[in-house]
C-alpha cells in the first residue's frame, strides 16, 4: 500500500510529481482568479505596509540626523563667540567647521553673519546642510533627503575693565582685600589686585590732676595701600593715609570731609572728641586707582583676609561669608548681601556706572547696617565685547 501511494523507492515518483504540478497550477489559477479572491488585495496591502515601514525608518533617521546636526551647530557657533574681536570671518569659518565636525555634525556648515557693534554687542548666525542618503525611499526614486539647520546667537556688552578706588578703611584689625580672577580654560585663580590696611593705633593722651589717661578713637584708622598685581609683580596705585587728632572739647571748625568721632571715658567722666582726615595719593599722580583688565577672565571673586577676625577669610563666592559684603548705588545705600547667596562680581559692577561696596571685617555680627562696615571702596565698570560664553544667548 505504501509503495503504491508514494511510488517505488527505486525511482517511481511520478504520482507525487503530478500532485505537485497540479497544486502549483491551482495556486497560479488562484492568483489569476478574479472571482472574489482576496490574495491580490492582501499582496497589495503587504507591499503598502512594507513601503510605509520603510519610509518611516528613513523619516526617523532624518529626524535623528537633524537633531544631531542642530546640537553640533549650536555648540560650534557658541565656540566662535569666545574668539577675540580681531579674528577674521575666514578664521571663524574654519573654527566653526572644525567644531561642527568635532561634535559629529554631518554635511557642510556656513558662517553667514558676524557683527560686532561699537558698543560691544555682537551677533552671529550660521547654517548647516546635509543630503542624507535614504534606504527605503529609493524605491520611490528618492535617493536622498536634504536636511538643513540654523543657529544664531547674540552677546550683550559685558564687564571688561574695573577700576577700584578706596574711599575709607577703618578698624583696629589690619586686613587685606584681594581680587582674584580665573582665565578662560584655566582652573587656578590668580591675584589681580591687593588692598592692604594697617591700623595706626592712635591714642589721645590727656591729664586730669596728676593722673595721665589715654583713649583710642572708637573706629580706628590707619594707612591703606592699593596695588595692581601681575604675576609676582605688585604695583602701587593708591595710598590713603588717615590722621586722627583728639581733644577734650569739640572741634569747632573741622576740615571738610573729615570724620568726627567721640567716646566717653568713664574713668574721668569726660567726653573725648576725635577728628580724622584721610589724604589720598595716586601713582601716577593723575591715576584713577586700580585699573584692572578683566576681559580675559571667566570668573571673578573678592576675598578679605582678617588675621584677627572670626572668620579670618571672607569671600564673595562663599555663601557662608558673602553676607559681610555690601553692594549698592551710593555710599549710604548699600544693602547687605543675603545670607547663603554667592555674588557674581561681573553683575555686581554695572556697565558705565559706579558700584559702591563695603565689607564688615568680622568685628560686628551680621546682619548689621552698612555704617558698621570697615572697608569702603568704589568700583567703576567698563563694558565692551567679552569672550565669556556665559554672556551668549541663543536666538535661533
pLDDT tens track for 168-201: 999 999 999 999 999 887 899 999 999 999 999 9
Please, how many CA atoms are within 13 Å of residue 122, restricted to the half-sphere of its CB?
A: 24
Tens-digit pLDDT profile for residues 9-59: 444 444 434 444 444 455 455 445 555 566 666 556 656 666 666 677 778
Report the pLDDT averaged over residues 93-113: 94
Strand duo 190-199 + 175-183: pairing: antiparallel
- Listed as own residue / partner, the contacts of 56-64 with beta carbons closer than 8 Å and 24 or more positions apart are 57/135, 57/136, 58/134, 58/135, 58/136, 58/137, 58/145, 61/132, 61/135, 62/132, 62/145, 62/147
Q: What is the mean pLDDT of residues 90-107?
A: 94
Q: pLDDT class for 145, splitting at 50, 70, 90? A: confident
Helix axes 39-80, 89-102, angle to 10 degrees: 130
Per-residue confidence (pLDDT) for residue 10, from 0 to 100? 45
pLDDT (0 to 100) of residue 39: 63
Supply the mean pLDDT for the chain.
86
Name the residue ranges covered by the structural domains of the chain.
Answer: 39-155, 159-389
The predicted model scores a pTM of: 0.73
Q: What confidence category does residue 388 fall into, taking pLDDT thresholds of 50, 70 and 90?
A: confident
User: Is 359 in contact with 326 (CB distance < 8 Å)?
Assistant: yes
pLDDT tens readout for residues 274-325: 999 999 999 999 999 999 999 889 899 999 999 998 889 999 999 999 999 9
Residues ≥6 apart with Cβ < 8 Å to 103: 71, 72, 75, 76
**Residue that wins the pLDDT comparison between 379 and 26:** 379
Asked if residue 161 lies in contact with residue 293, where contact means CB atoms within 8 angstroms, the answer is: yes
Give the residue from 101, 99, 82 showing the smallest Cα distance to 155: 82
**Predicted confidence band of residue 223 (pLDDT cuts 50, 70, 90):** very high
Window from 129-143, 303-317, 320-334, 374-388 with minimum mean pLDDT? 129-143
Q: How far is CA 23 from CA 12, 19, 27, in A?
A: 19, 6, 6
- pLDDT score at 144: 85
pLDDT at 192: 97
Query: Tell me, what's the pLDDT at 334?
Result: 93
- Least confident interval from 262-266, 289-293, 380-384: 380-384
Amino acid at each position: 500500500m505504501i509503495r503504491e501511494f508514494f511510488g517505488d523507492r527505486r525511482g517511481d515518483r511520478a504520482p507525487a510529481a503530478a500532485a505537485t504540478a497540479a497544486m502549483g497550477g491551482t495556486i497560479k489559477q488562484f492568483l489569476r482568479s478574479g472571482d472574489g479572491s482576496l490574495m491580490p488585495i492582501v499582496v497589495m496591502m503587504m507591499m503598502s505596509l512594507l513601503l510605509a515601514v520603510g519610509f518611516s525608518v528613513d523619516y526617523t533617521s532624518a529626524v535623528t540626523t537633524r537633531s544631531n546636526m542642530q546640537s553640533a551647530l549650536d555648540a560650534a557657533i557658541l565656540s566662535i563667540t569666545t574668539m577675540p574681536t580681531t579674528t577674521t570671518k575666514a578664521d571663524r569659518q574654519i573654527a566653526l567647521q572644525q567644531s561642527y565636525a568635532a561634535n559629529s555634525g554631518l554635511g557642510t556648515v556656513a558662517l553667514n553673519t558676524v557683527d560686532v557693534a561699537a558698543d560691544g554687542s555682537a551677533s552671529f548666525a550660521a547654517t548647516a546642510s546635509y543630503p542624507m542618503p535614504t534606504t527605503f525611499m529609493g524605491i520611490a526614486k528618492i535617493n536622498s533627503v536634504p536636511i538643513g539647520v540654523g543657529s544664531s546667537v547674540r552677546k550683550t556688552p559685558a564687564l571688561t575693565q574695573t577700576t577700584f578706588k578706596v574711599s575709607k578703611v577703618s578698624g583696629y584689625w589690619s586686613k587685606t582685600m584681594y581680587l582674584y580672577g580665573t582665565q578662560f580654560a584655566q582652573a587656578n585663580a590668580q591675584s589681580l589686585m591687593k588692598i592692604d590696611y594697617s591700623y595706626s593705633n592712635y591714642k589721645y593722651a590727656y591729664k586730669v590732676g596728676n593722673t595721665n589717661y589715654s583713649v583710642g578713637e572708637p573706629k580706628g584708622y590707619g594707612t591703606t595701600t592699593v596695588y595692581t598685581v601681575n604675576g609676582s609683580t605688585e604695583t602701587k596705585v593708591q595710598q590713603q593715609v588717615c590722621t586722627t587728632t583728639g581733644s577734650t572739647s569739640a572741634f569747632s571748625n573741622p576740615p571738610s570731609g573729615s570724620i568726627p568721632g567721640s567716646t566717653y571715658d568713664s574713668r574721668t567722666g569726660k567726653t573725648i572728641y576725635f577728628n580724622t582726615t584721610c589724604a589720598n595719593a595716586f601713582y601716577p599722580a593723575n591715576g584713577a586707582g586700580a585699573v584692572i583688565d578683566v576681559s580675559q577672565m571667566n570668573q571673578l571673586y573678592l576675598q578679605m583676609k582678617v588675621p584677627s577676625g572670626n572668620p579670618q577669610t571672607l569671600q564673595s563666592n562663599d555663601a557662608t561669608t558673602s553676607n559681610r559684603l555690601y553692594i549698592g548705588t551710593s555710599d549710604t545705600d548699600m544693602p547687605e548681601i543675603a545670607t547663603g547667596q554667592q555674588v557674581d562680581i561681573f553683575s555686581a559692577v554695572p556697565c558705565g556706572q559706579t558700584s559702591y561696596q563695603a565689607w564688615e571685617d568680622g568685628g560686628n555680627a551680621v546682619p548689621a547696617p552698612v555704617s558698621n562696615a570697615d572697608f569702603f571702596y568704589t568700583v567703576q565698570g567698563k563694558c565692551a565685547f567679552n569672550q565669556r560664553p556665559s554672556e551668549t544667548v541663543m536666538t535661533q
